[in-house]
Structure 1
């Protein structure tokens, strides 16, 4: 889907181009940002929520261009994804190249998720920045879950998180900023030490009580809104059974169709996804063995107010967000702009 820029946007592209020429020798230099430098120049939780809201609003109003991510799969349990996007309202244009190796922490002592993000000058297409994308991914993913939760279930008093790694910890940090009436958070991980680590990492930052659930069923029984950030596999694990869920709950997974019984999506009164094209792509790759449930709308349409989302307290809603690159590019552009302004990073020959 191509997007034709407005006159105001074209003028903004020219202004940005002129600014970049004052900072870099375009075509001969790029700004290189390490993960530590991305964090230094990057937005905090509140700023990230604002940036991702802007990105999803653009997505919901179709003010973007973003083909479905493509990938390669050297092993059955891993993936590499190329994720381009163009968001003119944010002067953001580029691509993220990201890999996920669930075995890395145990087998090699390396992160599960790594990657790079490249930004381009919209006026000329010249690459202007290369930066770490793992931290960006870790920040934007829980931001989208939290914004979706606020749009679909703003009065929720309980939230449950399956998976207590980097993403699970991020979700706990973000959800307290989005659900203003939250009274309790339940967490569950197959490794008890991961739950302890999560609680320790957010201590002093999250004042809402955090409860370690003894089982997945206990978490489901006690929570109005739930999310999951676990492993991504083609064959569903069906850890959460369809018999456990009930009317009035909101389920916002980040791990495709892996953790939940696929029948839950079909039981839902509304099945919402961040990108129809990307979910259909994954369906063709075998990640939804029984096929996708009928899709109601996209997450950005709810956040932008284009679609009403929840219209009845008793609706069971599933909102599947597998990660879309409009969010990455808007985050990357914000980090790049601040890094240039503050002199963070290294200018390297192109």
Structure 2
């Protein structure tokens, strides 16, 4: 039998990714829902001792004897995020996450991301792809999955803090899950970003007929059916994170938080349902970072881990989105309950969406074929 050792793979640029469907938010929400069902079954693996780690990150010291070593500036990240996903995916991959908030001064995105997708049997590369849009859409899709199961079906008003890339994809997912949305309230930092976001809303979602620019976080939250914080900023002092106060929150509101957030005492009470995108992810984070963990990772779910350690929250009070998606735990139970979802971001999401986009690209003949080797020089 003649051995076939040739390995080709495809390179997908950002324009290729767009042509292959990476910006199809409804399909992305569907894919993330399928991924969550596999998470609940356990048909996946990520890094770390409990197979739930967010990834492995290079950190830089505050003071270094090497003048060329990068400084630990805001949002400076070099990180590998590997995962395997089973079910109908049967692929593995790793996203390389490089980030520096100073990129904006050069006209570049804060983060520049790439992903390699691998055959799970041989480990051979299937694709090397631009991952900025991939990552943005899979992150935004998670609030959409949450809204499908946890938002009121008649939700009409979105409250958004942070009209950036994550804000755009989260709003897209909210609209995909809640088609009655007709109003959005937005708080941002700069007029240029606000103007750009409003123009995008008008072009992309003409059904949103009321667009209000608000001046406070309170105004974002009050009277909103769907609330999301998609802001960026310094990490370390939770008192500087944007807060959610119970008195602001409308009965029946659904809040999805993929960025830094603090809760007041009212929001920390047991009658506010607290849902995590993957409980194991937050347990892994809590084991990996100094305590209190919310000072290091500014997400609601990490604050919940601190509360468990403090004895102010029971582990049983936390709900898992995968369990809800799988029908093993209830979604929204009445029109009055307040539900908050912590969105941490996981490499299994990248692998899931990358696999769908890759298969679309192969079917449509999109991408540049590259050769790894015909016969390996060493074996």
Give me the TM-score of the superposition, normalised by structure 2: 0.78
Q: Which residue of 1 aligns with 2:39?
A: 59
Q: CA deviation at 1:312?
A: 3.8
* Structure 2 contact 229–257 (Cα < 8 Å) conserved: yes
Correspondences of 1:1-350 after superposition (within 5 Å): 28-43=7-22, 44-66=24-46, 67=51, 68-70=53-55, 71-74=57-60, 75-77=72-74, 78-89=76-87, 90-106=89-105, 108-155=106-153, 156-206=155-205, 207-208=207-208, 209-231=210-232, 233-236=235-238, 237-242=240-245, 244-246=247-249, 247-255=251-259, 258-261=260-263, 263=265, 266-267=268-269, 269-283=272-286, 284-286=288-290, 287-289=293-295, 291-292=306-307, 294=313, 296-350=318-372
Q: CA deviation at 1:46?
A: 2.1
Provide the secondary structure at the position in 1 that maps to 2:96: strand
Q: Which residue of 2 aligns with 1:5?
A: none
Q: CA deviation at 1:145?
A: 0.7
Q: CA deviation at 1:117?
A: 0.9
2: CA distance, partners of 1:216 / 1:26: 58
Unaligned runs of 5+ in 1: 1-20
Q: CA deviation at 1:186?
A: 1.3
1: CA distance, partners of 2:267 / 2:127: 40
2: CA distance, partners of 1:29 / 1:262: 54
RMSD: 2.4
CA 1:242–1:162 in 2, change beyond 3 Å: closer, same or farther? same
Q: CA deviation at 1:250?
A: 2.1
Provide the secondary structure at the position in 2 that maps to 1:266: coil
1: CA distance, partners of 2:112 / 2:351: 16
1: CA distance, partners of 2:331 / 2:58: 34
2: CA distance, partners of 1:245 / 1:342: 49
Which stretch has the larger CA shift, 237-246 or 312-321? 237-246
2: CA distance, partners of 1:311 / 1:192: 40
Provide the secondary structure at the position in 1 that maps to 2:256: strand
CA 1:31–1:173 in 2, change beyond 3 Å: closer, same or farther? same
Give me the TM-score of the superposition, normalised by structure 1: 0.84
* Structure 2 contact 246–267 (Cα < 8 Å) conserved: no
Provide the secondary structure at the position in 2 that maps to 1:322: coil
Unaligned runs of 5+ in 2: 61-71, 296-302, 373-379
2: CA distance, partners of 1:195 / 1:145: 22
Q: CA deviation at 1:210?
A: 2.3
Provide the secondary structure at the position in 2 that maps to 1:222: coil
Q: CA deviation at 1:329?
A: 0.7
Q: CA deviation at 1:39?
A: 1.2
* Structure 2 contact 161–188 (Cα < 8 Å) conserved: yes
* Structure 1 contact 238–261 (Cα < 8 Å) conserved: no
2: CA distance, partners of 1:281 / 1:127: 28
**Which of 1 and 2 has greater Rg?**
2
Provide the secondary structure at the position in 2 that maps to 1:65: strand
1: CA distance, partners of 2:91 / 2:264: 35
* Structure 2 contact 244–267 (Cα < 8 Å) conserved: no
CA 1:341–1:241 in 2, change beyond 3 Å: closer, same or farther? closer
2: CA distance, partners of 1:226 / 1:80: 30
* Structure 2 contact 54–345 (Cα < 8 Å) conserved: no
CA 1:241–1:125 in 2, change beyond 3 Å: closer, same or farther? closer
Q: CA deviation at 1:153?
A: 1.1
CA 1:159–1:230 in 2, change beyond 3 Å: closer, same or farther? same
CA 1:193–1:29 in 2, change beyond 3 Å: closer, same or farther? same
